[in-house]
Amino acid sequence: MRVTTKGQVTIPQHIREKLGITPSIEVDFIEENGRVYLIKKAGIRPRRNKFHTYRGVATVKMSTDEIMSLTRDDE
């Protein structure tokens, strides 16, 4: 595994899946007796997209063109 000039490495997919590491999850490195361990920080939840809460809430059955005509001033 190669380290970039910024000190970054790619965690292999099978390791990410096994540990449940997804984007926005925080990890930590622990050094112990000359070995380095990667751990997922406990109790830290990934930040949700602020629009995620509103996904699927709209009940108006309008096309995009109809919505755009309502929001534009057609003088």
Distance from the first to the final alpha carbon of the chain: 62
Q: CA-to-CA distance for 25 and 45, rounded, in angstroms?
A: 7
For the chain, the structural domain boundaries read: 13-71
Reported as a single tens digit per residue, the pLDDT across 15-72 is 989 888 888 888 899 999 999 998 888 765 656 677 777 777 777 788 888 888 888 8
Q: CA-to-CA distance for 15 and 21, rounded, in angstroms?
A: 8
Judge if pTM exceeds 0.85: no
Amino acid identity of residue 68, one-letter, is M
Q: Are strands 35-40 and 27-32 parallel, antiparallel or unpaired?
A: antiparallel
Q: CA-to-CA distance for 64 and 17, rounded, in angstroms?
A: 38
In this model, does residue 73 exceed pLDDT 80? Answer: no
